[in-house]
Amino acid sequence: MRARALFLAVALGFASASCTAVAAAETAVDAPAAARTAQETPGLKTAIFAGGCFWGVEAVFSHVKGVTSAVSGYHGGTARSARYDAVSSGMTDHAEAVRVTYDPRIVRYDQLLRMFFSVVADPTLKNRQGPDVGAHYRAALIPTSAEQNAVARAYLAQMRRSGVWKAPIVTGIERAQAFYPAEAYHQDFAAKNPRHGYIQRWDAPKVAALARMYPGFYRAQYQRN
């Protein structure tokens, strides 16, 4: 059985290296609106986000209007090591990541960044998010265009000046490399397994925060892949 499927055992006190450990609840943050807005040409765009366990990252973006696809996968390492068992060992260069395809006429890249740092990723944590620890759970922005790169750099600088986060911002920008979709059972995991202990404990609250904080962007229906 996969490590994350052992959530109930972990809750009783067992330790694990995967998305299972129980820790203090995460808190949504009112991230600032971007001063440097994205000037994107018409047509669907793609960006990659790493923010801890990809189940929750995918779940949040799958509820954002204008997002046409959110695919869980691996980024940063080799094709040979792009397997869940290898990545979750912490011995690869991969991060669990989500490839987001979106329509900039409905939601811009800078708006996706704001939602990401409001309800998904804590930018002050290095090589961990929520209960999950390891470099494969690092938070990172992976722009796929020059415009996204400029917007991401400007927004991280704005975040550092904002005073919203008391600890230093450590989330960085990584160069876009090959993205490897994760195994089929990881795709749409939150939609397929709403009663899973990890989803209820960690990811459902993120989706609820998205609905509460960004009602204009929230879509009740899960955009499945």
Q: How far is CA 15 from the centre of its chain?
A: 23
Could you list the residue range(s) of the whole structural domain that residue 86 is in?
39-213
47 within a domain of the structure (yes/no): yes
User: 10 Å Cβ neighbour count for 25?
Assistant: 10
**Token digits of residue 146:** 């020059």
Burial of 173 per CB tally in 10 Å (0-12, 13-18, 19+): middle
Bridge partners, 48 (sequence order)? 99, 142
State pTM to two decimals: 0.90
In a domain, 138, yes or no: yes
pLDDT at 25: 45
Asked whether residue 225 is domain-assigned, the answer is no
Catalytic residue among 10, 34, 53, 141: 53
In a domain? residue 147: yes
pLDDT at 17: 41
Determine, yes or no, domain membership for 110: yes
Note if 53 is an active site residue: yes
Our count of domains for the chain comes to 1
Neighbours of 50 (CB within 10 A): 25
**What is the SS3 assignment for 222?**
coil
From the CB of residue 99, how many other CB atoms can be counted at a distance below 10 Å?
23
C-alpha–C-alpha distance, residues 67 and 105, integer Å: 11
Q: What is the per-residue pLDDT for 19? A: 67
Judge contact between 219 and 29, C-beta under 8 A: no
Cα(128)–Cα(131) distance, rounded to whole angstroms?
8
Q: Which pLDDT value is given to residue 18?
A: 58
Please report whether residue 17 resides in a domain.
Answer: no
Q: Are 80 and 53 in contact (CB under 8 A)?
A: no
30 domain-assigned: no
CB 184 within 8 A of CB 191: no
Nearest CA among 151, 156, 158 for reference residue 170: 156
Nearest to 140 by CA among 154, 153, 123, 157: 123
CATH of the domain at 60: 3.30.1060.10
Residue 21, in any domain of the structure: no
pLDDT of 23: 41
How does pLDDT run along the chain (225 residues), one tens digit per residue? 333 433 333 332 323 345 654 444 468 999 999 999 999 999 999 999 999 999 999 999 999 999 999 999 999 999 999 999 999 999 999 999 999 999 999 999 999 999 999 999 999 999 999 999 999 999 999 999 999 999 999 999 999 999 999 999 999 999 999 999 999 999 999 999 999 999 999 999 999 999 999 999 999 999 998
Tokens standing for 161? 């000046």
How many whole angstroms separate alpha carbon 153 and alpha carbon 173?
Answer: 8
Return d(Cα 208, Cα 118) in angstroms, integer. Answer: 12
